[in-house]
Structure 1
Amino acid sequence: MTSATNSALPQRQTLLLIGNVALRLGSAIDRHTGGERLGLVRAEDGRAGLALADTGCALHLIILDMTLPDMSAVEFCRTLREDPAAPALPIIVVAPAEDVELRIAAFAAGCTDCVAPATPIAELLARIDAHIATSGAHTQLLQRNEQLHTALASLGHGVCFFDRDGRLIFSNRRYAEVYGLDPSVIRRGQTLEEILALRRQVDSCPRMTVAEYLSWAEETNAGDKPQTWVLELKSGKVVRGHHQRTADGGWVSTHEDITQAWKAEKALAEAHAQAAHAEQQARAAHARLLDAFEVVPEGLALFDAEDRFVLWNRRYEQIYTESGSQIFKGMSFEDRLRAGLKHGQYPEAVGREEQRLAERLALHAAPKSAHDQRLPENRWIRVDERRTSDGGSVGIRVDITDLKQREASFRLLFESNPVPMCVYDCETLGFIDVNQATLDHYGYSRDRFLSMTLVDMRPGDEPNVGEGRDAERGSGEVWRHLKADGTVIEVMIYSSRLNCKSRAAALIALVDVTERKRAEAALLQHRDILEETVRSRTAELARQAEELERMLEQERQINELQRQFVAMASHEFRTPLAIIDGAAQRLVRRKGGLTPDFLAEKTDQIRASVSRMLELMESILAAGRLDHGRIDVELVPCSLAEVITTCSKHQQSIRKSHRFLLDLVRLPPSIEADRPALEQVFTNLFSNAVKYAPNAPNVHVVGWRDEQYAYASVRDEGIGIDPMICRECFSGISAPEPRQGSRARASGSI
């Protein structure tokens, strides 16, 4: 046994020696073994030893003194064992044999063995080998135990172990998940009945009572042979279990959720029946496919991954009758090509057979698109080949001889058409072909035209637009194009999509509409002129109608003024005439006894009345001129202060009962104005101020200026203007009847 254990040890072990006594033992071990079996690492105190142990260097055992310079062996052992990161190394403490208490304390702190300082080297080496072997076996056991737990936890089946008393020893996470439980509620030591109570809460029990289930479980676990069972739970889940009794009277079981498999098994018979039916249908479909393979008008051939014929129809053989030998299953595609080249099946390959063979094999190996193939007697075949998922290929041969003939007719129509026509690539917009009419109309050579794009046809001052990418949308539009001589023309585009040389292309017809556009522009200009003439004439008629309406309104206003004039004249002129008549009658009555003072008084009355009548007449005439828009204004330099002063003196000479208080120092020395008109305005203002303020002798006149205008304000303290007629102050002359007990001022005084 010892020999086997020693042989399992590594050939060289490393010992950590801590303390002077341990160091002396190490020297003795080194002399005894010759330094070949054991490697020695030395530390003088406990802290250095802990540091070396924590480094994880390949240590296998520690020998330390009972008493160290910085700590005791007990403290060292406890510190090392409490460190979860430190390795679980065997520790031998060197202590006197009689110091039993120290040895007990060392064992309690975690040391593995205790030896006396005088222990023989052979015995010490035997103990070292035994402890290292035991430590290795213990480590392996822990590792295997951990591996077992990891394996059980990663199983797809639920696993549980029960002891002979029916209590849970171990279960993996999947065991709880199979029954819809949280793994945290399953704990070591629980009974099957307790676990069953948890399962009942989530309907993970079979359709039986607890007693029935426990009886069934006991019966299942009674035998020594493995038991397999399947139970359907209330939740609808189906579980399959395997039970096996253990040597200690307990049992181990696995639990697998086979719900989907159970359902699949139920449907398996159905699936087999359906599969048989499907196979029968597939055979019938295959037969129909073979019939269809023969009936289709195209030539069809199927090749395997090594390019050997697997299946072909009669039409395929008919197309290549000149190739001579018949096709047989397993014949290679290359052999068939060589036979065709030998018998003249491909006219274009004459004289270059090997080169043509290499080209055709390369195209067959990596087909990109369909291509056309010429056969004898000017027959044309379109070849379309596709690779299959298993590495093989399928080939389709379509006779396009009629299509080629129509293409030739189309080419003739295209080339000889008098309308400029061209074909361009829808992706690059580059020209593929043009007819002679296009070359003649634009003036470019054929090579130059075929090197251009639609964008190159546009004048340089126009944006680079992707015209033509959508051929149908551009049809019917007008584009501006540039001819070879630099002339810009307008063309109407008519386009249609087509496939040219396996590229998306478009055919366009170019109709020059330059002259038509010019004529349309001239017509539009003439139409605009006519419309403008009609608009201006209509506006003139509207303006004339508006002017006529204004004149009619003015005529109505003049008639109203005439009526007002008659009413005013009967009122305004009656007073001065009565004064003149009264003064004249008094002069007649007292002509014999006239005195100078009496004569002067009556003369002043007559003059004042005449002056008042003149003022009234001037006001009426001025208002009439304004209403008819025929007033003449003559602007000359004059002094506004002088005009106001003159008018106030004149009025004061007539009405000596009033005083004019003038504040004119802020007026400018000269202004541009019509002096007579200003005199008329201020005369009217002063006259009204005197007339309608008989009991207020003061008339205030203030003048001032700003940066642009001169202003004058006339203010009296009379009765004012009736608010009802304020809005008529700047209209024609009016003289409303005064209300009872008042003497309202008339409007229109200026």
Structure 2
Amino acid sequence: MWMNGGTVVSGELHTIFAMDGTLECPHGVGDDLERHGIVLRVHCDRAELHEWAAKRPQPELILLDAQSREGGGLEDCRRLKANPLTRDIPIIIMVSPEGEESRIEGLAGGAVDCVSNLVSAAELVARIKRHIELGAVHARLQRRNEQLDTALASMGQGVCLFDEAGRLLLSNDRYAEVYGLDPSVIHPGQSLEDILNLRQRVGAVPATSTSEYLAWAEATNKGDTPRDWIKELKSGQIIRGYHQRTSDGGWVSTHEDITQAWQAEKALAKAHVQAERAEQEARAAHARLLAAFEVVPEGLVLFDEEDRFVLWNQRYEQLYAESGDMLVKGMRFEDRLRAGLERGQYPEAVGREEEWLAERLAHHAKPTSKHEQRLPGNHWIRIEERQISEGGSVGIRVDITDLKMQEASFRLLFEGNPMPMWVYDHETLRFLHVNQAAIDHYGYRLEQFLTMRLSDIEAQETNPPEAVVFDLEDTASSRSSRHLKGDGTAIEVTVYSTCLNYKGKAASLMAVVDVTEAKRAEKALLQHRDTLEEMVRSRTVELARQTEELERMLEQEKQINELQRQFVSMASHEFRTPLAVIDGAAQRLIRRKEAATPEFLCEKADQIRSSVSRMLELMESILAAGRLDHGRITIVHKPCSIAEIIGICSARQESIRRSHRFLLDLDRLPPTIFGDHPALDQVFSNLFSNAVKYAPDAPNVHVTGWQDGTSVCITVRDEGIGIDTDDLPKMFQRYFRARSSTGIAGTGIGLNLVKQIIELHGGTIEVASSRGNGTTFTLRLPIGAEILDELRVAGAR
């Protein structure tokens, strides 16, 4: 027992404090307490009592006397309960039997018991022991509550506990945070409906009404079996919960935000479906690849990273027929070459097999390579090989036997041509090759020619050497020049040149016509003409008139010759343009044959069709103009539908130029007129083609027709670039092209042909336009068959 500061050392003892004088009445209390393992420490000083009570280990109970001499027992009780460090220590107040007021004050001040100072020692000890036990239970309960609070706070899930009346008993902060709420707005005593109203404000509720949700919660709580559930909220969150009913009729549930996991699971499922679809597509693509291997006309072969055969098509075997039966999957490329050498498959290797094999393997080892190979029977193939990023390589074998034969034929034509011809380098202007006719005509030896430049044979009076270089974009051209022969003689020549690729170099093929004698004859002719003119002037007036007429006819013929020369040049250029487009599209199809898409093929096919259509239009215009000039066109008037002719021509033009549409207003036309159906088809084909060609950015072409008395009128109006006003009077002249058409393909024949056909029908055509405001052509044709006789036989003139 502790008395007046005495010390008892025992780890099993309970410690209580008391003020000196508190236990004066119940004698023997200290001994009884000691027998029950309780140590009593008595303090004589009140300050000391409060100081020691706040230290650890704290006393498990404090005894105070409300009737002490100092009269401070009740005050000490209130003070101890006011101190956070001592407020949980149980306090017993000793009062007099008549001290009811003191008893009430003590209990109000926080004492756990008020005992009479006349109580027996045994009763007091029993009370002390009981309150110590109750204090220990309270302490354990408090520790467990603290542990529960710590556990709830550390959980990743929201937890809530409701009683049987549906009131919240406890919840952790995570419960509020799962639904996007501030934890401070949720507290015990709230109903589930109160919490739902808070969640409603932030959209953290399912897409159901509050009453439906409460009914669901009530139904869930009726079952004794725990339940898992998943709810999707209006906010897009996915919440998983676990609900279990408590023994008192309430429930406890956990709430977890599984939005990301849910989305990830859905994404995984979607990815799985996509992976299966991709696998199916890959299998289909593989099947298509195998089919494509067999469809393409070239030989195809695929090697792995160890240079072994993986895949090849039948055409590949056919090209190497001599050793085709030996080819097996997994065979090394070098072994295949050696097998071919044994069977004489490579004529170029005869007598130098190992050297040839090393050269072939060196080509094969390059990242990309291209070369030609001769096979038995004078067959030739072009070999293209490329290494792929995954390892291995792919090869293409193209049969170029026909190309080689054509090349040989062209070479024979070049060498045996009686016209001097040569090939020169665009960059250096040096001669690359000359034919025997050039050697014979110019008097230079072949070795001399191949050391000279093109400028070396140009006479000094001509332009500088750079002027002789032809435009690479202009694939064919001609010009006049003066050349020097080997003996120094100057000759007049007409040079015809076309661009080509010669052994990988940009070059031109040039053909030369010596016009020296023709120039001399022309000069002599001019001198003779002057003599004749002098003789004519000395004759009669009639002869003078005839001379003037002859000069006029000569001038007209010169103009016609000039127009024809311009036309030939223009027509040549017009034909070259679509041919260049067709050739370019074909080359791109060849280059991209392995990776060509349907859209790409459709685009190139449209370009080729458009170019072919342009060539057909040019040919038809030229042929029709020639037939008119030579009187071989006869207009045969028969009943025909002008509306049908316009409809056919517009539909044909729309199929060729899909960028434009024709807006037809033909209801006011008569059902038939008398005219030549093919000739009228050519008229509207020309007009519609021009409407599309000169309105590239305006897709609408308006065609309107009506009857005006005994005639029909048709207007064709586009919204294109228009025509300068001063060019309008010349629009129907042959070979004339307006200034606004610069850069747009055309020959200047079409409108002249249209005008002649319309006039042969006894009709008229007019044009109205201005620069930038579109163009309108107005045709007027007679309906009936009463045509002037001279028009009916116009074709005979």
Tell me the TM-score range normalised by the shorter chain.
Answer: 0.3 to 0.5
Normalised TM-score (structure 2): 0.35
Question: Which structure: larger Rg?
Answer: 1
Normalised TM-score (structure 1): 0.37
